[in-house]
Amino acid sequence: MNRKHWVVLAMLGTGLTGSAMAQSSVTLYGIVDQSVRFTTNSNAQNANQIQLTNGAITNSRWGLKGSEDLGGGLSTIFDLESGFEPQNGQLDGGALFSRYAYVGISSPYGTLTMGRQGTEAFNFTGDFDPLTVANYADNSWPFFMTVGRISNAITYAGLFDGLHIGVTGTLGGQAGSFSTGSSISMRLSYDIGPLSFGGTYQDVRDLKNNSQRMWGAAAKYRFANLTAFVGYLGGSDATGNVDAALNDSSRNVETGDFTMNRRRDAMFYGGVQWQFTPALALYSGVYYDKMGNVNGFAGNSGSRITGAGVLEYSLSKATQIYSAADFNRVTGGAYTELPGRDNQLGLSVGMRHSF
């Protein structure tokens, strides 16, 4: 085949590709968020630490998302999203697309997606959190009860005149059992003028068919340039997963019988988002958790309180600089959630760029 033939074929291929993709769009997006963080009582010896780490509020990530117009109000959608540590370039979560990896159909009647995605409890709680799901373990720990993102998931979500409906289910894939390793997560919320309110419920089963349940209710109200938040999360866990997530990774923690002594959580929170000027904003929240049967031991009660705030200044629509502070204090059986003393202070400054 001579050169002319190759040119003709290349032009034909380009034309066919352009025609086939004419109604499609693919977007490369991401966030690079890097901070310098100072932490007190950072280990068992209660030494202070200063480090370069990921962002205070938004974890660094990149992704590809797209859609194709199928006509009649239908669209194919997909999202592939990867988290990473900008200070060393390593992947988060041990997988290329550990944050999101799903495909689905969008219609006027809602969206159906399949793959790795956030549970509806996670999505709901994030919508009603004054810190919009923070990123340090010290200010994001309340979300561990929601599991966060989950694999093998099928989600339906719809928005109808201010009414948000969502259901996420996962398939356990265990022969002979429909429920083992499965989960169900639901949300229902409503927007009416400046007020939004709603609730969520979730049940996640492990491979022994033990259950981790959580439920919650929350509301937020917008006053001009200020939004106030209030919420509650409750939990009952026979799997040990919540304790495993909350216990400090440096501790060698003894555990009891989780099936006999379910962990109990009752968490209350509130906070504000305050847009002082178009460029300057404050995000702040207080979270209090009263817990029982910590680490599977009957009567092992405790509590944790966290106060956190972020002051952010936008240099442009895509670039922000910020300072952040968080303080944690634990009592009773919750001492295993911090590495040393019963309190910890974190201070950080950082920069975020979105593309």
Whether the per-residue pLDDT at 74 is higher than 90: the answer is yes
Q: Quickly state the pLDDT bin for 9 (edges 50, 70, 90).
A: very low
pLDDT of residue 14: 41
Which numeric CATH code is attached to 27-39+52-354? 2.40.160.10
Whether the per-residue pLDDT at 351 is higher than 70: the answer is yes
- Alpha-carbon distance 24 to 28, whole Å? 14
Whether the per-residue pLDDT at 278 is higher than 60: the answer is yes
The closest alpha carbon to 269, from 176, 177, 132, 169, belongs to 132
On the CB side of 199, CA atoms within 13 Å amount to: 6
For residue 229, the cross-strand partners are 220, 271
**What is the domain partition of the chain in residue ranges?**
27-39+52-354
Q: Which residues 6+ apart lie within 8 Å of 210 measured at CB?
A: 238, 239, 258, 259
101-108 mean pLDDT: 98
Min mean pLDDT across 11-15, 293-297, 307-311, 345-349 is at: 11-15
pLDDT of residue 262: 98
Whether the per-residue pLDDT at 222 is higher than 90: the answer is yes
348-354 mean pLDDT: 98
- Alpha-carbon distance 260 to 73, whole Å? 51
326-330 mean pLDDT: 98
The closest alpha carbon to 324, from 343, 314, 313, 309, belongs to 309
167-180 mean pLDDT: 89
Question: If you average pLDDT over every residue of the chain, what do you get?
Answer: 93
Q: Which residues 6+ apart lie within 8 Å of 326 measured at CB?
A: 136, 138, 139, 306, 307, 308, 309, 345, 346
Other CB atoms within a 10 A radius of the CB of residue 278 amount to 8
pTM for the model stands at 0.90
Tens digits of per-residue pLDDT, 205-214? 999 999 999 9
Q: What proportion of the chain, given as a percentage, has pLDDT over 70?
A: 94
Determine the 3-state secondary structure of 257 from DSSP. Answer: coil
pLDDT of residue 176: 83
- Alpha-carbon distance 248 to 234, whole Å? 21
Whether the per-residue pLDDT at 238 is higher than 90: the answer is yes
Between residues 48 and 176, the one the model is more confident about: 48
Whether the per-residue pLDDT at 48 is higher than 50: the answer is yes
